[in-house]
Chain A
Amino acid sequence: MAAEKMALAKAINESLRRALDNDPKVLIMGEDVGKLGGVFRVTDGLQKDFGESRVIDTPLAESGIVGTAIGLALRGYRPVVEIQFDGFVFPAYDQIVTQLAKMHARSLGKVKLPVVVRIPYGGGIGAVEHHSESPEALFAHVAGLKIVSPSNASDAYWMMQQAIQSDDPVIYFEPKRRYWDKAEVDTEAIPAPLHKAQVVREGTDLTLAAYGPMVKLCQEVAAAAAEEGKSLEVLDLRSVSPIDFDAIQASVERTRRLVVVHEAPVFFGSGAEIAARITERCFYHLEAPVLRVGGYHAPYPPARLEESYLPDLDRVLDAVDRSLAY
């Protein structure tokens, strides 16, 4: 039996295990990824089974982690590095933006950097500051990086396989608040292409587009809206760079309305890019402007306020109503 129900974190763990098994060039690197198995236990047991030279506890230095991963990749390895929390990627941001993203182009395509940077991201777990951010737009703005974010265990499993196999650097955003959500994972399936969006619920009145942690919320919104007789389509974008605009366009041509939902601040966020492109592509199909639901232009608030800060059922339903009112 290849199909098994597992939590999203466990699916990534199984996927990493498979990659380590299949390819001796695959390495896991990061803070506390060894004995501890990472603070979320995503790498649990891997060092025990693959040893300290494949699953490497690094010094507490993110620039060092990504910078040395680049060097290892130049030498033929395929490092998968863990950044412990979203807010701690910034010491490595320089290496990611100025080096990792650009070396392929600078070498006229001679150099490939198959580095995966895993970042647990997003809020909803009541953490202290720097532990709940959604910085995907900051990376999407940089050419040379691919950015994905699974929303469920099956995608988490397969997208990790594909990210590791990709010759491009991939920033792999893990929706930490969904780590413990279980779903069926078929480890012998033929997965969808890495950057393809998927319709996870069909509908006719409006499209909700989301990725990562917000997909589940959008499914709940669609279920709630269905009780009011509204038929919402939910699109799991899965990839933030590139974005599958064809899939969004196809959906919007059917439903004529689009609401984009993400946790990151709306201002200069991925929703802005989607709204602009879809407006260009679907101007005559749209019955309403593309609306966005996301975080505010404010620092991520302390835990006791995050419920008000994060998109929730009501805020998305509100946007749905506004769209339908046009």
Chain B
Amino acid sequence: MTVESTAARTSRRSAGSKAGATGTKAAGTRRRTGAKKGADPELVQLLTPEGERVKNAEYDKYVAGITADELRGLYRDMVLTRRFDAEATALQRQGELGLWASLLGQEAAQIGSGRATREDDYVFPTYREHGVAWCRGVDPTNLLGMFRGVNNGGWDPNGNNFHLYTIVIGSQALHATGYAMGVAKDGADSAVVAYFGDGASSQGDVAEAFTFSAVYNAPVVFFCQNNQWAISEPTEKQMRVPLYQRAAGFGFPGVRVDGNDVLACLAVTKWALERARNGEGPTLVEAFTYRMGAHTTSDDPTRYRGDEERLAWEAKDPILRLRRHLEAANHADEGFFAELETESEALGRRVREAVRAMPDPDLFAIFENVYADGHALVDEERAQFAAYQASFADAEGV
């Protein structure tokens, strides 16, 4: 299939999805195409894997004014996020982190959607949204504390309107919905984004979040990164219809976007956020992408998937794709890439040094912040703990 014909089909199909969005035609009534993974004509795409810009009648307008500078910015975001991620993986291998959940391959989904958010929007991540955190201005070294085991969070969620990572799958979809309900009650025009995975969409909490957000018309965007796997289980073990179509049953639109296409992710998320701001309620965005690495550093993907799949997805690499586009459009020269390489090295160094310098927490942190108003039992146990610790000092003759 030529690029042109893909583009034409994409735009016709997504016109249908927009109709669903405005309520004239539910997304789920569209025919199942039976298309194979990655070749779904319903995938919104603005940049082909070769980096060619394809037209899309529905979503072009959301990136129409994008400048070369902004495109380079997206590229920079993705490169630095990948670099940060690679550094964290290396640090785990060196024993500096207990665990790491890599985002390798998902940079476009995260940077595209993250850059679509406004400062006053609020984001609820899972545990792999390092690229979104980057877009929200969270210092990446803050993300590493919980993986190093020095804290169970590590940043002030209100500092950048970026909530703490949530490990219990799907829980945060409800928090995001509730937060969005609050935004609507306040009459604000900001919006909320909830991130979760394809596996998470099987959880009751996610279904309940869909229910509440639809019933209360909450200004929330559910951004599901379908990276094809929930640890060892492929998406087919979670659901039998394309994930984005599930929104229809709850009464709001769902769209599948090429999750390796940063421009498409940016455009579709902007559209969904605009809907939220306009009081049109929730949207489900399914970013169709791929987890190129292991689920976490504890996982061994060779037990459940072969290399061919990964190789096929490597050809759709989000970073390579934008680079090709930048080069073809003469938007970036060698100098830009060289400078970025230097910046990337510096980031790696900074992260490495910051992690190694991260102090172990104070022992008494166990008892800190258990309650906002204090609690007699905690006080009692803290005192016992102090006496116990002091007994070692005594024993050592201090």
Binding site for B on A (CB under 8 A): 31-32, 34-37, 39, 57-64, 87-88, 90-91, 126-131, 267, 296-299, 301-305, 308-309, 314-315, 318
Residues in B190-216 with C-beta less than 8 Å from chain A:
199-200, 202-205
Most buried by B among A32, A34, A39, A131: A32
A interface, over-half SS: loop
A129 to B146 Cα, complex, angstroms: 8
Q: Which of B16-24, B80-88, B228-236 is near enough to bind chain A?
A: B228-236
Q: Which of B42-50, B70-78, B346-354, B364-372 is near enough to bind chain A?
A: B364-372
Chain B residue, CB-CB nearest to A35: B304
Contact A36 B199 (CB under 8 A): no
| Residues of A close to B148: CB separation below 8 A | 303-304
B99 adjacent to chain A (CB < 8 Å): yes
Interface size class of B (residues with CB under 8 A): 35 or more
Which one of B149, B202, B363 contacts A308 once the chains associate, using CB atoms below 8 Å?
A: B363
Most buried by A among B98, B147, B148: B98
Q: What string of 1s and 0s marks CB contacts (under 8 Å) between B51-85 and chain A?
A: 00000000000000000000000000000000000
4 extra A-B contacts, CB within 8 A, seeds A59-B237, A91-B205, A308-B385: A31-B233, A60-B230, A128-B149, A308-B366
Contact A305 B361 (CB under 8 A): yes
Contact B381 A296 (CB under 8 A): yes
Contact A297 B202 (CB under 8 A): no
| Residues of B close to A126: CB separation below 8 A | 98, 149
A62 to B167 Cα, complex, angstroms: 14
Contact A303 B375 (CB under 8 A): no
| Residues of A close to B370: CB separation below 8 A | 297-299
A296 to B96 Cα, complex, angstroms: 27
Chain A residue, CB-CB nearest to B234: A57
Q: When A35-B232, A57-B237 are in contact, do A302 and B203 touch as well, CB less than 8 Å?
A: no
Chain A residue, CB-CB nearest to B197: A60
Chain B residue, CB-CB nearest to A303: B149
- Can you list 21 residue pairs at the A/B interface with Cβ under 8 Å? A32-B232, A36-B304, A37-B303, A39-B299, A57-B237, A60-B202, A91-B203, A126-B149, A127-B98, A128-B99, A128-B146, A128-B167, A129-B167, A296-B381, A297-B370, A298-B370, A304-B149, A305-B361, A305-B363, A305-B366, A308-B366
A90 to B303 Cα, complex, angstroms: 28
Q: What string of 1s and 0s marks CB contacts (under 8 Å) between B136-153 and chain A?
A: 000000000111111110
Contact A90 B232 (CB under 8 A): no
| Residues of A close to B199: CB separation below 8 A | 59-60
